[in-house]
A = this chain, B = another copy of it.
Amino acid sequence: MGLADCVVECIHSHQSRSLEELVAFCAIPSVSTLSEHAGDVQRAAEWLADRLQRLGIEQVSVLPTAGHPMVYGDWLHAPGRPTVLVYGHYDVQPVDPIAEWRSDPFAPTVRDDCLYARGASDMKGQIVALFAALEALREAGPYPVNLKFMIEGEEEAGSANLEAFVDVHGGRLGCDFILNCDGGILGPDAPSLTYALRGLSYFELEVSGPASDLHSGVFGGAVHNPAQVLCDLVSAMHDDQGRVTVPGFYDAVRPLDDAERRDLAALPFDDDAFKRAAGVTETWGETGYTDIERTTARPTLEVNGLVGGFTGEGAKTVLPARALAKLSMRTVPDQDGRELAEALRRFLAERAPSTVRWELRELSHGDGAIVDRETPWIRAAADALEDVFGRRPGFKREGGSIPIVGLLKRRLGADTVLLGFELPDAGFHGPNEKMHLPTFYRGIEVYARFLSRL
């Protein structure tokens, strides 16, 4: 099916080396949101640059940004063949709650067919899989396509400097399409391709009142408690139908038509596996939508964190001076996160009592995206998945957010193929993140077949 036997053989015989590479990459704690890990993030960038050079990629450079660097490289010696801009990120999420990890998140450990490590699935595993595919292809001859690489170190921090990078370096990034490896499939035997992503807008809402924490016996009852007000405000953001109550929140949402709802319903979405992966016995959400619709085609407003007052061991009878919620919206086409931020601000202005002060800080905004399912690149990806998994992939929407997809469409006019191998129970962003190794090995072969099929 378009791939030389020697390539497949090479991939199979090099599995243990691929795993070693993945272990080495995951051992670097490249947590982009924590300043104490800045050196590790730099180290991960250099690790990547070294690997790209060993793959014969040219112009390899670790390019500075206002934040963490971008790793660039290209190989442009396949005239008449498409040019693929590979996008990925080498940074990872923080590890807390660290106590819940069964093994050190940065001492990658194999248990039960899986490699447990922060970043194993999101997304160092896909980078290493693609590199292994390239290595096998290279043993058989020159690469079948032109390649460019743009691998960032701030995806988990909201990609704050990505847009500026594209502004400056856009001239080098021209391509026929983008291969974004930061995605997943529905199950070990359920290949799928993602055609839509949710956007992400992240906020901090701080409510403050007294100048400092007060004795709750002396002041309690006559001073409005900022933690209580925060709870009032957060609670008011949803109604009892699971709908977000911020006025205008749903105005721009592109409605699901019957055909798309049928396609989503036909996906091999396993309700029990979803609940098992979440560790819940019952799902919940916006009335009138299925779980797959709620998590991929409908917007949400989530509390990501709460903190205020005394949170240590035992009792401390304070009336907190302030309380803070981390909030985020998962937006869908055609919502605009910045407009929703204003809607939330108006909602708070109307709801917050005059007894407290409040501040809504916008940490980041990334738009959602929908891509055309009918490009030759998507067809090649679908064929490669079918070659390896033995079944046609489903087309799915993704609940997560990859702001780069919309950004590159706007700036480079290029569509994205999202092709990655995370599984729904991979635990990414949570403790005990893992990569399912049989799927990782299949992923290597899919990448090789995909690039050969273009």
Residues in A lying within 8 Å of B, measured CB to CB: 33-35, 93-94, 96-97, 100, 157-158, 198, 200, 202, 209-225, 227-228, 230-232, 234-236, 238, 274, 277-280, 282-286, 291, 294-295, 298, 300, 302-321, 323-326, 328, 330, 353-355, 363-364, 398-401, 424, 427-432
Give the distance to chain B from A404, nearest Cβ to Cβ, in Å. 14
CA distance in complex: A309, B298 (Å): 23
Given contacts A306-B323, A316-B326, 8 further A-B contacts (CB under 8 A): A33-B315, A97-B213, A213-B429, A220-B330, A221-B298, A222-B283, A306-B308, A307-B311
Chain B residue at smallest Cβ distance from A311: B307
CA distance in complex: A157, B310 (Å): 13
CA distance in complex: A302, B216 (Å): 7
CA distance in complex: A325, B326 (Å): 16
Chain B residue at smallest Cβ distance from A198: B217
Q: For A302, A328, A427, which residue has the most chain B Cβ atoms within 10 angstroms?
A: A302
B residues near A318, Cβ cutoff 8 Å: 304-305, 429-430
- Let me know if B294 and A303 touch, CB within 8 A: no
Residue in B231, B282, B286, B307 whose beta carbon sits within 8 Å of that of A303 in the complex: B231
Q: For A100, A284, A298, which residue has the most chain B Cβ atoms within 10 angstroms?
A: A284
Give the distance to chain B from A433, nearest Cβ to Cβ, in Å. 10
Give the distance to chain B from A153, nearest Cβ to Cβ, in Å. 14
B residues near A428, Cβ cutoff 8 Å: 215, 218
B residues near A209, Cβ cutoff 8 Å: 279-280
- Let me know if A222 and B330 touch, CB within 8 A: no
- Let me know if B312 and A303 touch, CB within 8 A: no
B residues near A93, Cβ cutoff 8 Å: 316
- Let me know if B214 and A278 touch, CB within 8 A: yes
Give the distance to chain B from A253, nearest Cβ to Cβ, in Å. 13
CA distance in complex: A34, B310 (Å): 13
B residues near A215, Cβ cutoff 8 Å: 400, 428-430
CA distance in complex: A310, B320 (Å): 19
Residue in B232, B279, B315 whose beta carbon sits within 8 Å of that of A363 in the complex: B315
Give the distance to chain B from A204, nearest Cβ to Cβ, in Å. 9
Give the distance to chain B from A157, nearest Cβ to Cβ, in Å. 6
- Let me know if B312 and A278 touch, CB within 8 A: no
Chain B residue at smallest Cβ distance from A429: B215
